[in-house]
Amino acid sequence: MAAPLFSPILLAQSPADDARSTADRARILLVLPFDNRTSQPSLEWMREAAADLLSSRFASAGFAPMTRADRMYALDHLGLPQGFQPSRASSLKLAQTLDADSIVAGSYSLDGTQLVAQAQLVDVSHLRMSAAVTASGAMQNMIAVFDTLAWKLTRQLDPALNVTEETFVAAGAGLRLDAYEQYIRGITEPDRSERLGHLEQSVKLSPGFSPAWMALGREEYAGQDYDKAAEAFAKVDRNGSDGREAEFYRGLSLLFSGDYALAELAFADVARVLPLAEVVNNQAVAISRQGHDGTALFVEAASSDPNNADYHFNLAVSLRRRGKDAAAMGELAQCLKLRPGDAEAQALETAWKDPTGAQAAAGSAPQAAPDPLERIARTFDEAEFRQAANMLDQMQATRLASLSPQERALALATQARGFLDRGLLLEAERLYQSAVAADGQVAQAHLGLAEVRERTGDAAAARQEAQSALELSPSADAYLVLGQLDLADNHLDDARNDAEGALKLAPASQAAKELMRQVLVRSGASQ
């Protein structure tokens, strides 16, 4: 077995530590790039792939892994190179800089044709290391190997989490390995043209792979190719973790390419969920560029972030256009108070105080544009967005906690259905399990688990959950799950009964009609 990254002395722990509740377990994780112990430089890209895959699964399981951007920022802050090989001391320092509760460190090697991945958890505050876990498989199943490793680590982090290994593996089953490799190379290559090439190849191989579209959009935006950036950001899953950031930068791209109407809609979409100052300000700019009045939104932005000079400048310009000169001068004065060296604001103040231009004609003051453009908030504060999103999650958790067990289970099952409909099985199962824990008598939760189990290939568990759902509240969907299972097992009489049960409850169901058609075709073929 490969040598562990951290000293075994960290393994010491007391029975009291073992008795800690799940609620006290570390939740904020720093997943480090894995060590490449294959002696093959061509597999160096897997260092970052391991960290990316594990972080993605941890996030889906309800933990809070640090992003790669967080890690890059901390490395720069500590004066460490981006590709450093972590020692115990530097890894702990990195985790402490990021305020992480636990470190995940590991390595990968080859045993003949088999890929072997190993990882350990380190509790940062207690300097305690978990036992190493391993996963192995064929190289072409690399994603599944790391998904299995993520499941084993998750069980160490939270033994009460009931999500199955099959669901973790299914979370990455639809991702092409070649597309994923291109994506990882596209976010790690030092040369921009190479990054672009890899990312373009990734989305070509896997057009539905949202993270690659997000990375491609960032590259196009950084290169000021705003039309292409807007197209790439539009392909990012709006309901995913990058959805709001993508829509914000899509709005910026549309602003810079002159499509103000679509930019307004993009910022409005984000503002409906996260009405942060930069979002509202840019929505107002898009409105203003169309010749409409964005004053109300400029007021909202300046009120939300009163220490931002640009928002007061924008409000001053908008008020001046509406003939509210005194209020405009007040906002411009506030802008200069916050940023005394703002040359444009200084010139504008002089021009507004001296509308005849006498001072400018005498050469005593710089001239200002007669009608300056409002300023765009160009940067996305990811930390602020994440904090706002976390606040929304906390509000949702508080709301759920105030509900009765049955109401809470129903709300969780409804949220889980949204994930299931998007094919996010891990997130869906986690919420369905929470719903069952809240109230095991809610049929929708058992039905959802049945559908998850069916998709992950656990027919026995799917049948058990579907039958539980039927016992609690008969539904066409539960009959359909049983029907597909019976059809797959060639139990045609049972499948016919399932189809009839579904049609009785939902006569117009196309899925039930299709199940009956398949049963009849199969029955005819078997005679």
What is the Cα–Cα distance from 139 to 375, expressed in whole angstroms?
A: 51
Look at residue 363 in the predicted model and tell me its pLDDT. Answer: 52
| 109 three-state secondary structure | strand
Residues 6+ apart with CB under 8 A from 212: 179, 182, 183, 186, 199, 202, 203, 206
396: left (phi over 0), alpha (psi -120 to 50) or beta: alpha
Q: Which CATH class is domain 8-174?
A: alpha beta
120: left (phi over 0), alpha (psi -120 to 50) or beta: beta
What is the Cα–Cα distance from 436 to 464, expressed in whole angstroms?
A: 14
Do domains 177-274 and 280-380 share one topology? The answer is yes
- For residue range 263-320, list pLDDT tens digits in order: 999 999 999 988 899 999 999 999 999 999 999 999 999 999 999 999 999 999 999 9
Strands 35-36 and 102-111: parallel
Is 351:332 a contact under the CB 8 Å cutoff? no
| 253 three-state secondary structure | helix
Look at residue 11 in the predicted model and tell me its pLDDT. Answer: 34
What pairs with residue 118 in β-bridges? 107, 134
What is the Cα–Cα distance from 154 to 116, expressed in whole angstroms?
A: 18
Is it true that domain 402-526 has CATH number 1.25.40.10?
A: yes
Is 150:168 a contact under the CB 8 Å cutoff? yes
* For the chain, domain boundaries: 8-174, 177-274, 280-380, 402-526
What is the Cα–Cα distance from 509 to 21, expressed in whole angstroms?
A: 46
φ/ψ of 108, rounded to 5, equals -140, 145
Look at residue 410 in the predicted model and tell me its pLDDT. Answer: 94
Look at residue 356 in the predicted model and tell me its pLDDT. Answer: 67
Look at residue 342 in the predicted model and tell me its pLDDT. Answer: 96
Give average pLDDT by consecutive 10-residue segment, the chain, 527 residues.
Answer: 42 34 57 93 96 95 87 74 63 74 92 95 83 96 97 94 93 94 96 97 96 97 97 93 92 97 96 90 97 96 96 96 95 97 94 70 52 88 67 78 92 93 91 94 96 94 96 94 94 94 95 94 70
Look at residue 122 in the predicted model and tell me its pLDDT. Answer: 86
CATH number of 177-274: 1.25.40.10
Question: If we measure between CA atoms, which residue out of 267, 264, 330, 325 comes closest to residue 291?
Answer: 264
Q: Which CATH class is domain 280-380?
A: mainly alpha
The alpha carbon of residue 272 and the mean position of all alpha carbons in its chain are separated, in whole angstroms, by 18
Hunting for tokens 């072997």 — which residue is that? 116
Look at residue 123 in the predicted model and tell me its pLDDT. Answer: 85
Is 123:47 a contact under the CB 8 Å cutoff? no
Q: Which amino acid is at 316?
A: A
